[in-house]
Structure 1
Amino acid sequence: MGTNSEAQGGRLFFRSETFAGDARRRPPTGETVTEAAREIPIHAQCDVLVVGGGPAGVAAAVAAGRRGARTLLLERNNHLGGLSTGGLVVWIDRMTDWSGRKVIRGFAEEFLGRLPPGAIAGPPPAAWGSRDAATAAWWQLRTAAFHGVVTHSPTCDPEVMKLAAMEMVLESGAEILFHAWGAEPLMEEGAVRGAIFESKQGRRAIRAACVVDATGDGDLFARAGAAFDADIDENDIHHCMNTSWLFGGVNMPRYQRWRAEEPEAFGAFMQRGRERFRYFERAFASWRDDVALFLGPRLSGYSAVDVDDLTAVEIQSHRLMAQHLEHYRAEAPGFRNAWMMLSAPQIGIRHARRLRGAGSVLRSDWDGRVRADEIGVSPSLAPKFPNVSVPYGALVPERLDGLLAPGRHLSCDSNSHSFLREIPQCWLTGQAAGLAAAIAADRNLASRAVPIAELQAGLRKEGVHLSDAEPAGSEEFQTASSCISATEGR
């Protein structure tokens, strides 16, 4: 989910409000049932199986398909795009660094370039990096300027993004299987060799040479026994949950003028909302002037892997949608004729599990160092920090073979998760995982043995931005295994 962040004393805290939820978990019954052994039909066999069709999964499937791998993308919903579409996170966070240079490119650049006029809104390239106060203030109200700097952070039409994602996957040669929930890893001799999924046809299996876990919550790697972390920073929003929604029939320019010109009145409006409903959120701009986006209220204290918690958040969020409409229509300029347009089909999950990888991104890495196994470059969270080099080892489990884990559940600490979970970073890591999985399948290699030079050359060919600086000791790093062993224990 999109955020506005600020670094203080070397740690990251978010200006966006969080609200402590009232999680009342069902006590365990202590009882069990025994499931009889059964034969599971093999639904398909492929080189690369991607489980999860969110931003990371789509990018992975496209990359693997273009490399020539027989690729199958498994998705539980009826659309692709994950939280960027079904979760209504239509505000795509920063892809430029603080100088205005586009650093998240490759798949991300191509995908957004496919969206037609009217389906994407944001500052023009000439404005990226601008520190002009008036320009930055104008774009800040449109979620595209932070810390006084204009950034490439567009808002997009979710339906157009769904279609663009589907067409890119199919054009790559990859196949899609909708309405199929990846349930369990298929294990052979301690390695992942496919996945079992649930569907209307029942329980079925897919065999694959390499699996990309793009579930976002690490469902497959956790069930395969890979180590993971789940700690959070309670001062950040990265662990909060909510269901987003859209209001139609609004006049966002009028609302934004009111916010800018009458900040005291806006502050009083927000305070009255908190007093009435406790949980209350401001409206964000969308890709249209007549549609308002709500990315909260953000509820903390719930688990993204607890079905009772997920249910409680859905119930609370839908009630809050109606309460917000009542308050906004009564008091907010531009909302008199607003109506409930859409609640997100997918719940907004920011954090569940993080892989314990062979490599990782840590707070100590925010110093401009270039990782020898770099697969992409992420903008940092504030102008005081340089860009962050993202290593391939962050996608590779410490010991488990046959699986890569791009997206918001990659290996990192809780501070770094604050930005690595964002949609552009999921595109970045997904593209790298898909290409690496295709190389591994083609060459019959373990995913940790993929030659880094070959992977990086392939990423550059697809337009991915990698650091120009030569990493220290790079000549000794010839494969992922050597990169990983050199970074263990950091």
Structure 2
Amino acid sequence: MFFRSGILRAERRRRTAPREAAVTEAGREVPVHAECDVLVVGGGPAGVSAACAAARMGARTTLLERHNHLGGLSTGGLVIWIDRMTDWEGRRVIRGFAEEFLDRLPAGAVAGPPRADWGSRDPALAAHWAQRTAAFHGVVTWSPTCDPEAMKTAAQEMLLGAGVDLLFHAWGAAPVVRDGAVRGAVFEGKGGRRAVLAPVVVDATGDGDLFHRAGAAGSEDVDERDIHHCVNTAWLFGGVDMPAHLRWRSEQPGEFSEFLRTGRERLGLLDKAFVSWRDDVALFMGPRLAGFSGLDTDDQTEVEIRSRRLMAGHLEHYRAHAPGFAGAWPMLMAPQLGVRHSRRLRGVGRVAREDWDGRTAPDEIGVSPSLSPRFANVSVPYGALVPEKLDGLLGPGRHLSCDATSHSFMREIPQCWMTGQAAGVAAALAAARGVEPRAVPVAEIRRALRRQGAHLGAAAGPAEALPAA
């Protein structure tokens, strides 16, 4: 795939620790800000879909978001290219919340192939859409590029319409743990530390902050063959002529290769320009930096500094040498750092490479397209959202339980929408029944997901619920 090239591995800067290695904080009581049935921490794709699904099930739902907008990396991270939601036959398999959400966007906010072309293997169509991040392996897919501001607005209005209580500028800092179960979270805001209590919490932080701080087991291994472990900040250039630029790349491949070579020689790494939702805006989702941790503040700072310098270098090189970019200007650098991987939950179940053979998990709560036409669709089990031992919490999104190879696609935005919706449904059912999430009958989760428009494969197996902790 075209994202696997262009990775820069750099030496990490190490900060010298002060002689006084620790300070002591005084004990304090934390005021309770609110109580609810389901608390969702993190307003990225998984958190938004989880909160919407839970509220529509009748649960009193609160969502904590550290920024001033919803959507996470799909908006604030400028990952506005939404990966494949169709399989290699053109069938839309990630539906439910994802389908409704995208259908709510204004026509001018979505750029992608028409439905009639999904699954087409026509060489001309595939070549056209391959330049527009919507065809892979010679197959046209439903993977649109969207206006980030339109996505922020749509997400906000969907949640408010569902009755979700939103708290912006609230950083979910720590879980509230009682008798080995998560029963809320403490957040940091301008008013200090506050707590929100709930019998069920959805950790949608993307980094597994809550399950990790509550003591649940996780994994941090990565697949070095893939970009899923890289970190960078994306940006947009305005004032471009992307159709002219794409024609040049197609008609003068030798010149384009030389352009890339000289740029990489000068900058160390040069990213290709990608289309956006407008012909006059170019998207840069790299350059991708390896060897940095999204959990380390010094590393995060270094990535931001390098990304901004690379943005300036790209602008100069593209203006001088790339057709379509003579009048380019720096429109926006993403306000959110693009962390693809940090830690993953160790769950009751998981998505693993050996499961890419078309088998249906007995506790399936969603279906993901596979990495290539060589593989069948991938069944996603409910157990991948449920910690091995920790109760009161579900962990959908990019930190769900999976192996490093499967993480390469399970971290993508549509998969986060899909697993988030399942987590929201399960959390609402658990709260209503007064049971732990692992005790909710899988068949009941599946019925509710179908009512919300989700796509599922064959019926669940004989196991009504997951094994007890």
Task: Report whether the alignment pairs 1:255 with 2:245.
Answer: yes
Is residue 231–residue 289 contact of structure 2 (8 Å, CA) maintained in 1?
yes
Aligned partners of 2:33, 2:4: CA distance in 1, in Å? Answer: 47
Aligned partners of 1:433, 1:319: CA distance in 2, in Å? Answer: 39
Aligned partners of 2:466, 2:80: CA distance in 1, in Å? Answer: 34
Name the residue aligned to 1:26.
15
**Residue in structure 1 matching 2:78, options 88, 94, 102:** 88
CA RMSD of aligned residues (A): 1.0
Name the residue aligned to 1:245.
235
Name the residue aligned to 2:61.
71
Q: Which amino acid is the alignment partner of residue 413 of structure 1?
A: D
SS in 2 for 1:317: helix
After the TM superposition, which of the residue ranges 241-250 and 18-27 deviates more from structure 2?
18-27
Number of equivalent positions: 468
Aligned partners of 1:326, 1:240: CA distance in 2, in Å? Answer: 24
Q: Which amino acid is the alignment partner of residue 10 of structure 2?
A: G
> What is the percent sequence identity of the aligned residues?
68
SS in 1 for 2:302: helix
Deviation at 1:470, TM superposition (A): 4.5
Deviation at 1:103, TM superposition (A): 0.2
Q: Deviations over 1:439-459 (max 9, x none)?
A: 000100101001111100000
SS in 2 for 1:23: coil
Q: Which amino acid is the alignment partner of residue 24 of structure 1?
A: R
Summarize the alignment of residues 270-349 of structure 1 with structure 2, pairs less than 5 Å apart.
270-349=260-339
SS in 2 for 1:118: helix
Q: Deviations over 1:196-219 (max 9, x none)?
A: 010000011111110000000000
Name the residue aligned to 2:140.
150
Q: Which amino acid is the alignment partner of residue 23 of structure 2?
A: V
SS in 1 for 2:408: helix
Q: Deviations over 1:281-325 (max 9, x none)?
A: 010000000000000000000000000000000000011111100
After the TM superposition, which of the residue ranges 279-288 and 24-33 deviates more from structure 2?
24-33
Q: Which amino acid is the alignment partner of residue 137 of structure 2?
A: H
Q: Deviations over 1:53-109 (max 9, x none)?
A: 000000000000000101000000000000000000000000000000000000000
Name the residue aligned to 2:467.
481
Deviation at 1:142, TM superposition (A): 0.2
Unaligned stretches of 5+ residues in structure 2: none
**Residue in structure 1 matching 2:209, options 219, 222, 225:** 219
Summarize the alignment of residues 387-426 of structure 1 with structure 2, pairs less than 5 Å apart.
387-426=377-416
Aligned partners of 1:383, 1:212: CA distance in 2, in Å? Answer: 33
Name the residue aligned to 1:447.
437
SS in 1 for 2:143: coil
Aligned partners of 1:396, 1:25: CA distance in 2, in Å? Answer: 36
Name the residue aligned to 1:430.
420
Unaligned stretches of 5+ residues in structure 1: 6-13, 486-490
**Residue in structure 1 matching 2:194, options 175, 196, 204:** 204
Deviation at 1:26, TM superposition (A): 1.6
